[in-house]
Amino acid sequence: MNFDPRYSGRNFSSVGTRPIRPDGVDKVTGRARYGADFNMAGQLVGRVLRSPHAHAAIRRIDTSKAEKLAGVKAVITAADLPDLTDGDAAMYDILDNCMARKKALYDGHAVAAVAAIDALTARQALKLIEIDYDVLPHVTDVDEATKPTAPVLNETIFTEGVEPRPGKPSNIAKRSQYGHGDVEAGFGEADFIVERSFKTEQTHQGYIEPHACVASVSSDGTADLWVCTQGHFVYRQHCAQLLGMEASKLRVTSSEIGGGFGGKTHVWAEPVALALSRKAGRPVKLVMTRDEVFRASGPTSATSIDVKIGARKDGTITAAEATLRYSCGPYTGMWAELGAMTAFACYRLDNVKSVGYEVLVNRPKTAAYRAPSAPMAAFAVESAIDELAKEIGMDPVEFRIRNAAQEGTRSSYGPVYGPIGIGPTLEAAKNHPHMKAPLGKNQGRGMACGFWFNFGGQTCTDLNIGMDGSVSLAVGTVDVGGSRASLSLVAAEELGIAYEQVKAVVADTSSLGYNDMTDGSRGTFSSSMATISAARNAIKVLRERAAQMWDISVDDVAWEQGHAVAKGEKHGNLGKLSLKEIAAESGKTGGPIAGHSELVADGAGVSFATHICDIEVDPETGATKVLRYTVVQDAGKAVHPTYVEGQYQGGAAQGIGWALNEEYIYGKDGRLQNAGFLDYRIPVCSDLPMIDTQILEIPNPNHPYGVRGVGETSIVPPLAAIANAVSNAAGVRMTHIPMSPPRILAAIEAERAD
């Protein structure tokens, strides 16, 4: 059946309501099973030995003593994970990150692993492994790593995107450029120009559940992996390739997920657990400690960004330029590229240029954190926008409204926008009561805009109708933000039945076709599209069965509000047949009734938000208090408004922590100093205000219900909105995130000294 993904305005009965979440009872009663809650008979305990050095050549590893320890069933090193990547550089980086080969590239890099009968034995075995390191010079700061005198992490890296090709290896892995027009000519037209440099420190997603998995490899080569992940199909693909397995022989089941936010889109310990199980011949359970999560899983980038923006007296921006340097750990990525793409995406610009540099440093491999790279770019750009508005003498909201992108605008990164929500979010913010509320002494208000692309991708969904009329919906996108409830609402809407009749489950990799990683805010967008398609395919079958029961042509059968209806006066004597009635007779009319869909969900629709923040700053100590926070964001269509509000509030809460407290702190020895929640301080309830939300709905033309992804955009504006608020409260422009009390106090004192 051909599927038309275009938006068609309709009235909804289920979509847009707020039913109780289907996973709520299990989670609050402790019955839900997360990564570490799964066990297999005879399982062993896996533990990983990690480098204590930021940069060191591995001369020799001796595991003989560990192997002889009673209770140890397997010990592995890089030799047990041979290079099977066939020249695929990206996969080789994944392999090397899972188990160091020639060099340890950061404090916490895995160098060996053991499987033993219990945790105590495993820990003892790790202490018996002898490693001869040749400690090398290291670099952990993004700016220091770009200097010619910096130690080079990888001699095979020559900066991509530069012509001619550099003659020497470098820590600058890649250069990316976006934009259009003539920025020099644009700056020549400007009456006012603001030029600033900004820095942001590295942060972690701070998910409560550590990485955990149970791996079991059988003697016949088949394997099972139970794992906490955002994408079990991608995990299967990567693990199978790294271990030389056929993907069909590896079944991966995703557990409930205790937070991911992009940090659980990469394999870290899973290939190690599989290799241990294969060598030991028994299941292996491997759970990271919190220290390991911080030291050896993927935080976001640290950045150094230069921004220059010019405007006329009337407030029209004439040119904008940014140079963005993003750390990516010891392996190349696309983090600066994403920053360069998103930096000026909110604005209508004739002359714009953004250049991104991926920089290798001796820190853990960088991973996504919600809208990866966009918050840092927005912090720099939106701070400069605020300062420029002040120079001109314009209200910062009015200045943004004057220059906001709109339908038909050529974006700074290339494509021309369709219907978008940046203008409406700004207008809503302008008219929000928060914007008009009075401020007290030492208090400041800031606002900022944010953008994210959103993603669709490969998606597969099954919808099965039971003989009792209940519906089982099997999806392949991991539920990281309430998608099971949302998708059940969509299925109920399309079939015309009650929400309570639908049960959505996340299927394992052997039960459903391939699904891309649940990132890019794609979960509800892509799977709802596939659910609509599957439901419509099931409705076609339901109509055929009703036609058979009535002995009429299927062309004379319509589907209305959960019932088959015979059309035309000649069938006036036929009543309606409900889904439940048709399902009850399915055994006599052709067997089970189901709908299936596989598609590539294109046209995800970009997303915009505007945030408002009030901050109080103590000028004597630099301490801050967030007084009020408001999120205005376009959802396209809020399928389950409570979940949408939760995504908005969650992004804002994480942004508050990132802006004010959170950062990785490395010592001179290149070792992480605060690998735990005691010293790496994420916000708790007492740190946060009630976060108000306003959902706007500008329909996405490429989705039948108008849905856009919402999960990532909400983390983009907070750094800038909070920085603008702090700067207004303190009377000094803040350019370094996080704005911890010592940094704020130093900035205030420096301003007083001037």
| Angle of helix 270-280 versus helix 232-243 axis, rounded to 10 | 50
Q: How many helices (H) and strands (E) does the chain have?
A: 21, 27
Three-class SS state of 722: helix
Predicted confidence at residue 392, as pLDDT, reads: 98
Number of residues assigned to the chain? 754
Q: Which residues contact 6 (CB under 8 A, 6 or more apart)?
A: 701, 702, 704
478, 231 contact by CB (below 8 A): yes
> What is the pLDDT, as a whole number, of residue 256?
97
Per-residue tokens: 550: 């009535």
Q: Round to whole Å and give the CA distance between 223 and 204.
A: 31
Q: Which of 725, 714, 713, 566 is nearest to 660 (CA)?
A: 725
pLDDT of residue 124: 98
The predicted pLDDT at position 304 comes to: 98
Nearest to 561 by CA among 481, 492, 656: 492
Cβ-contact 504, 23 below 8 angstroms: no
Extract the tokens encoding 254. 């995703």
By three-state DSSP, how is residue 324 classified?
A: strand
Rg, Å, the chain Cα set: 27
Whether residue 199 contacts residue 325, with contact meaning beta carbons closer than 8 Å, is answered with no
Q: Nearest to residue 681, comparing CAs of 190, 20, 206, 293?
A: 206
Q: According to the model, what pLDDT value does residue 570 have?
A: 86
User: What does the pLDDT read at residue 753?
Assistant: 86
Contacts of 505 (CB under 8 A, 6+ apart): 472, 473, 474, 475, 484
Please tell me the distance from the alpha carbon of residue 619 to that of residue 149, in angstroms, as a whole number: 40
CA distance 20 to 485: 8
> Structure tokens of 456?
């669709």
What's the CA gap between 411 and 141, in Å, rounded?
32
Question: What per-residue confidence (pLDDT) applies to 568?
Answer: 86
The whole-number pLDDT of residue 279 equals: 98
Map tokens 């299936």 to a residue: 596
Q: What are the pLDDT digits (tens) for 566-592?
A: 998 888 789 899 999 999 999 999 999
Quick one: three-class SS letters along 392-425? Answer: HCCCHHHHHHHHECCCCCECCCCCECCCCCHHHH
279, 243 Cβ separation under 8 angstroms:
no
Low-confidence stretches of the chain (pLDDT beneath 50)? 1
> Tokens standing for 362?
């001796």
Show the tokens assigned to 651.
């992004």
- CA distances in angstroms from 64 to 69, 77, 81, 712, listed in the order given: 9, 12, 18, 48
Strand partners, 347: 404
How many C-beta atoms surround the C-beta of residue 598 within 10 A? 17
Q: What is the pLDDT of residues 98-137, one digit of tens each?
A: 999 999 999 999 999 999 999 999 999 999 999 999 999 9
- The dihedrals phi and psi of 217, each to the nearest 5 degrees, come to -110, 125
Looking at residue 754, its pLDDT comes to 78
Angle between helices 483-495 and 523-550 (to 10 degrees): 30
Locate 450 and state its tokens: 């944010």
**Cα 476 from Cα 488, distance rounded (Å):** 14
